[in-house]
Structure 1
Amino acid sequence: MSDSAVDRLFDSILGAFDVLTIALGDRLGLYDVLHAHGPITAPALAEHAGIDPRYAREWVEQQCVAGWVGVDDPGAAADERRYSLTPDAAETLRDRDSEDYLAAITQIVAAAAAQLPALAEAYRTGGGVPWAQYGPAMRRGQADGNRPLYLGSMTRAWLPSLPELHERLRAGTRVADIGCGDGWGSIAIARAYPDVTVDGYDVDPDSIAAAQANARDSGVADRATFHQVDATRPPQVQEYGLVTAFECIHDLPDPVSVLAGMRGMAQPDGWVLVMDERVPDAFTGPGDDVERLMYGYSTLICLPDAMAHRPTRATGTVMRLDVLRRYAQEAGFVDVEVLPIEHDVFRLYRLLS
């Protein structure tokens, strides 16, 4: 192995330890304690967080060595040193309203890592690992990771930049959100456009329960309601001026049936929007950071989930434009339009009938 390969893998190992220790700190609320009470000693961190003092000291020292946490006097006795979040880390690790908040993504990685034995078996046998098996940390990580985007750029910039759709929403059209998860996309639209009503649909009962609670907490439960429904058999009502699928089409074992259902739900002049990952249109070998990220999701989460169902298209996270266009045309759409939305990770598509 070349020195460059050794260095690269060693850096990745360090990064993996960072990801898992950040996931641990996030799950235990340690960053919130550091933000609220810092600078703070390790024993005080343990007391406020309700964890063992020896573990608190080891964790905060690791975070300091890794550069996420600062210390006021490294030479002080171990239990007298005072720690605080570095300013640039505070937003990324604990500001759940910021689009730079990434601690939620560490929960996704940790939940995937916990399934390595099941993943190895699936790779050997051609089976799968269903979404539910990854546990609630995976669901919450996905929801919390996307929440700032939905409440931020999507409704404050993306939708207003599409004049025809923006005016339709302002006029109070009815919206269907397919694969709504914990409901933040639906809730964001309801909050941004006070005259719309939104129906969120998802097959996962835990997601629907979380979405209903989130809508109540956000004050939009009267206009954003959620239903446990198999997305391959949504209600054929042709009543919706907008039908959306945010970051879920690539996960579905039968995306064509879901897209056909979305087409059937939309009014004749209704909009059908799909948000999915921004990946290159062709495989070229070594890729950029976003493509590497999406292949990480795909190999460990999205493809194994799709393979847990039969029959399955086994799309994986890296759904390129030609694949989505083929699915859309099989579902009865004429074409797919890439909308002029600039984002590092996501792309917004309009499906044309």
Structure 2
Amino acid sequence: MDDTRATDVAPVADDEPREPLADRVFEVGVAAMECLSIHLGDKLGWYRELAASGPLTPADLAARTRTQERYAREWCEQQAVAGFLVADETGPDRRFRLDDEGVAVFTDAASTDFLAPLARFVTAATVQAPALLDAYRDGGGVSWDQLGDDVRAGQADMNRPWFEQVLPGELAAVPHLHEILSRPGALVADVGCGFGWSTIALARAYPQARFVGVDVDAPSVEAARVNALDAGTVNATFETSWQDAPAGPYDLAFLFECLHDMPHPVDVLTEVRASLADGGRVVVMDEAADDVYTAPGDQVQRALYGYSVLCCLPDSLSHVGSVGTGTVMRRGTLARYARQAGFAVVEDLPIEDFGFWRFTELR
């Protein structure tokens, strides 16, 4: 399958109703401000305190979190107007609370609905607006390290519940992958492991296998080592380069939501393929971009392009010679990279309803 270029545009029905553009842009501006306000509540601990203590007045919330009452009052009122908090009473003693859905979305790190980290991501990209403007004008990029800990932790925290709660069961339902992972002494690589939550989740689910997480971002690898230690995971190790990892051969290698970020994806896939045992497999989990560019797009495709213009493409282009994939890696692009790396077969795996990701097997 060939890569689909932006010039191949799927038609949009002429009679499709469209919201006036001015109204749409106004809504986008309001949403951006609300996103930044979520970041305030997340970083100041206000959501967590409301989840732990129940309804609070702004004065009580400020006192419990050692913040300022006037700001807490404005934020609580704004959050209730936005529909994020519930205002229980009227008057100066009005109390505000999170309902059950709000607890899951804003505070529950184990919930697949946990989205407070998304606001961290957006805010971190906003802080880097001057650097992004320079990159867009002059070339180069904005590296993962420049984007900082809120992007690192934001991505890790959003993916963590999917890896811990959903991933092991989905892989167990694919018989040949379950068989490989269940082999005593099987060696499994997690390339681009980030904070290590995918590695740790699989190591827990398959204690007889050995797992090696690799990521070029040193702070992420350090976080992964701490997370594995805290989890008591003894069959997983983490390295900052493929050269420092065990030589293999590997029975299975995973690349979870990272291939599109890599400046040289074919080189990485080639190295991974060379490390495989006979019959070894590679599984790529990446964003489920549409096969054909369609404009306007649905909310998922809009989100993917949002990630790409603010983070993934600038990070990739911060490296010399980058191919500049971007977040929107279509099936055809992945298939091309896989063929160039020497893989003969590229197939979708029967894993559905896993966020907005797609699982592809290479062999």
Work out whether the TM-score is over 0.5.
yes
User: Can you list the C-alpha shifts for 1:24-61, whole angstroms capped at 9, x where unaligned?
Assistant: 11111111100111211111111211212221111111
1:35 is aligned with what amino acid? A
2:164 is aligned with what amino acid? L
* 1:219–1:3 distance in 2 versus 1, CA, 3 Å: closer
Of 334, 339, 346, which residue of structure 2 is paired with 1:329?
Answer: 339
User: Are 1:120 and 2:133 matched, yes or no?
Assistant: yes
Tell me the residue number matched to 1:105.
118
Give structure 2 stretches of 5+ with no counterpart: 1-17
User: Are 1:153 and 2:197 matched, yes or no?
Assistant: no
Aligned equivalents of 1:286 and 1:335: distance in 2?
32
* 1:236–1:186 distance in 2 versus 1, CA, 3 Å: closer
Maintained 8 Å contact 2:203/2:211: yes
Maintained 8 Å contact 1:186/1:199: yes
Aligned equivalents of 1:189 and 1:213: distance in 2?
17
Maintained 8 Å contact 1:238/1:268: no
With 48-57 and 32-41 compared, the bigger mean Cα shift is at: 48-57
- Tell me how far 1:135 sits from its aligned partner: 1.0
Tell me the residue number matched to 2:303.
293
Maintained 8 Å contact 1:247/1:276: yes
* 1:143–1:234 distance in 2 versus 1, CA, 3 Å: same
Tell me the residue number matched to 1:350.
361
Aligned equivalents of 2:89 and 2:294: distance in 1?
50
1:322 is aligned with what amino acid? G
Of 150, 163, 169, which residue of structure 1 is paired with 2:181?
Answer: 169
Maintained 8 Å contact 1:337/1:349: yes
Of 62, 65, 69, which residue of structure 2 is paired with 1:49?
Answer: 65
Tell me the residue number matched to 1:225.
237
Aligned equivalents of 1:101 and 1:250: distance in 2?
23
Aligned equivalents of 1:262 and 1:139: distance in 2?
24
Tell me the residue number matched to 2:42.
26
With 261-270 and 242-251 compared, the bigger mean Cα shift is at: 261-270
Structure 1 residue runs of 4 or more that deviate by more than 3 Å after TM superposition = 233-236
SS at match of 2:360: strand
Aligned equivalents of 1:342 and 1:3: distance in 2?
31
**TM-score, structure 1 length as denominator?**
0.94
User: Can you list the C-alpha shifts for 1:76-104, whole angstroms capped at 9, x where unaligned?
Assistant: 11xx2111112322211111101111111
Maintained 8 Å contact 2:194/2:221: yes
- Tell me how far 1:235 sits from its aligned partner: 5.2
User: Can you list the C-alpha shifts for 1:292-331, whole angstroms capped at 9, x where unaligned?
Assistant: 1000000110110111111110000000011111111111
User: Can you list the C-alpha shifts for 1:148-173, whole angstroms capped at 9, x where unaligned?
Assistant: 010011112x1011111112212232
Tell me the residue number matched to 1:66.
82
Aligned equivalents of 1:310 and 1:212: distance in 2?
29
- Tell me how far 1:146 sits from its aligned partner: 0.3
**TM-score, structure 2 length as denominator?**
0.92
User: Can you list the C-alpha shifts for 1:147-204, whole angstroms capped at 9, x where unaligned?
Assistant: 0010011112x10111111122122322111111100110010111121211111111
Maintained 8 Å contact 1:92/1:101: yes
1:351 is aligned with what amino acid? L
Of 3, 18, 27, which residue of structure 2 is paired with 1:11?
Answer: 27
| Identity fraction in percent | 46
Aligned equivalents of 1:4 and 1:94: distance in 2?
35
2:121 is aligned with what amino acid? I
- Tell me how far 1:238 sits from its aligned partner: 3.7
- How many residue pairs end up in the alignment? 344
Aligned equivalents of 1:190 and 1:3: distance in 2?
48
